[in-house]
Amino acid sequence: MTESDGEFSAASVPYPEGTDADERAETLHHRPHASTVAAPAGGDGVWVLESDSEEWDRIDLPDTVAATAIGAGGPVLALTGDGRLHAFDPETGEEEASADLLGTVGPDHPPVIEAGTGRTYVNDPEEGLVYEIDHDDDLRVARELETGPAPHFMVRTGY
C-alpha cells in the first residue's frame, strides 16, 4: 500500500507459480510497526513478505503451526508441531537458532507467537504458561508466566 497526495493505492503480490491454495497465507503476523510479515505456508513452511517487496519468500519448514516476523533486522520465528521454536534470517532463510519449547502442541488450538521489540511470547495451554522469549539471544526463555487458566488463546494489546 502506498500514499501519494492523500490518495492510497494497493497492489497484490502474487504467490510463486504452482502455489496450491492450501499453501497460501491465511493470516499475516508481525511485530507492531514492523515492515516484514510472516505466515505459515500450509503446514510445510513459512511465507515472508517485506512491505516494499514484489514477491513472497518461502522458508521450508515441515510441520509449521505458527509464524511471525520481528522486522527491522530481527528474525522470522516459526513454531513446529513438535514444540520447537525456530529463528530464521528473513533475507537468506537460514536458520539462526532453535529451541525445544513446548511438550505438546494441540491441533485444535495451536499456540500463538506474539512479538515485541525485544521479547516474544508463546502460549502453552498444556502447561498453563506463557513463555517470554529473548529472540535476540538464541531464543532463550527469559521468563515463564503462570496464567492460572489454560492460555488457549492469546492476543496482544497495546505496544
For residue 112, name the pLDDT band (cuts at 50, 70, 90). very high
Give the separation between CA 159 and CA 147, rounded to whole angstroms.
Answer: 20
Give the pLDDT score at 44: 92
Indicate whether 123 belongs to any domain: yes
Give the pLDDT score at 46: 97
State which residues form the domain around 126: 22-146
Give the pLDDT score at 124: 94
Indicate whether 11 belongs to any domain: no
Mean pLDDT (the chain) is 91
pLDDT(133) > 90 = yes
Query: How many residues are given for the chain?
Result: 159
- Residue with grid cell 511465507, as numbered in its chain: 47
Indicate whether 154 belongs to any domain: no
Counted domains in the chain: 1
Q: Which residues contact 10 (CB under 8 A, 6 or more apart)?
A: 1, 2
| Residue 127: CATH number of its domain | 2.130.10.10
| Residue with the larger pLDDT of the pair 6 and 111 | 111
Mean pLDDT value of segment 117-145: 94
